[in-house]
Chains A and B, each alone.
Chain A
Amino acid sequence: AQKVTQAQTEISVVEKEDVTLDCVYETRDTTYYLFWYKQPPSGELVFLIRRNSFDEQNEISGRYSWNFQKSTSSFNFTITASQVVDSAVYFCALSPWNDKIIFGKGTRLHILP
């Protein structure tokens, strides 16, 4: 079965703290794509990153970093030195080559000033 689990429903941290959002996936396909999207309070979803199953390199983009580990089927997202503007719902998604895209249920992140 294809599945995406974001076990953290809601997280609150104080501004400037680091925070990691977990994403665990299941798929039978050997070729697949993983994504993270951000949904700020305005409601529109914004693409953050795409990773294919053959590229396990970690990625850093400013304060954002992603850790992809095929051995544990995880694709975790870390925000360093969080800011209030990072408050949003974050979705992890899996797109297997031979099946349709599946989104996790999302993690609501509150950054407290």
Chain B
Amino acid sequence: NAGVTQTPKFRVLKTGQSMTLLCAQDMNHEYMYWYRQDPGMGLRLIHYSVGEGTTAKGEVPDGYNVSRLKKQNFLLGLESAAPSQTSVYFCASSLDPGQPMTYEQYFGPGTRLTVT
């Protein structure tokens, strides 16, 4: 069991470039999440998904898009990267029988993104 994996681990982008971060989980979890972690800010929820084909906005969704075409994958896209999107991005998944975000989440190792 790999748990939650994220690709890539590191990336440097120039302002205006686009990229997609891939998150995969092999635990058959319904719910998946994308967070960003900035120094002194804790984790902030970007977008989440309660099942295949569904997505919803979190606390800081602007500048990001997501897709959940397959249950095991959750993609985070940056269409036009900005320096303010320099951060560490974490993906997570959870079982949550019922209401999302009410059970423990399993986190991936993170992606460190720098936008210059």
* Interface of A toward B, CB cutoff 8 Å: 4, 9, 33, 35, 37, 43-47, 50, 52, 91, 93, 95, 97, 100-106
Contact = CB atoms under 8 A, between A and B. Distances in A.
Judged by DSSP, the binding face of A is: strand
A51 to B, nearest CB: 11
A97 B102 CA distance: 8
A91 B42 contact: yes
A45 B104 contact: no
A45 B88 CA distance: 12
A47 B104 contact: yes
Interface of B: 35, 40-45, 48, 58-59, 88, 90, 92, 99, 101-110
13 contacts: A43-B88, A45-B43, A45-B90, A45-B92, A45-B105, A45-B107, A47-B104, A95-B102, A103-B35, A103-B42, A103-B43, A104-B42, A105-B40
A102 B44 CA distance: 7
Contacts of B103: 33, 50
The 10 closest A-B pairs by CB, nearest first: A47-B104, A45-B107, A105-B42, A103-B42, A101-B101, A103-B43, A95-B101, A33-B102, A44-B109, A43-B110
A101 B90 CA distance: 14
B42 A44 contact: no
A97 B98 CA distance: 11
Contacts of A46: 107
A106 B45 CA distance: 15
A45 B3 CA distance: 13
B109 A43 contact: yes
Given A44-B108, A45-B107, A46-B107, 5 more contacts: A52-B102, A100-B58, A104-B42, A105-B41, A105-B42
B27 to A, nearest CB: 13
B109 A100 contact: no
Nearest to B44: A103
B43 A91 contact: yes
A97 B108 CA distance: 25
Given A33-B102, A45-B90, A95-B101, A101 B45 contact: yes
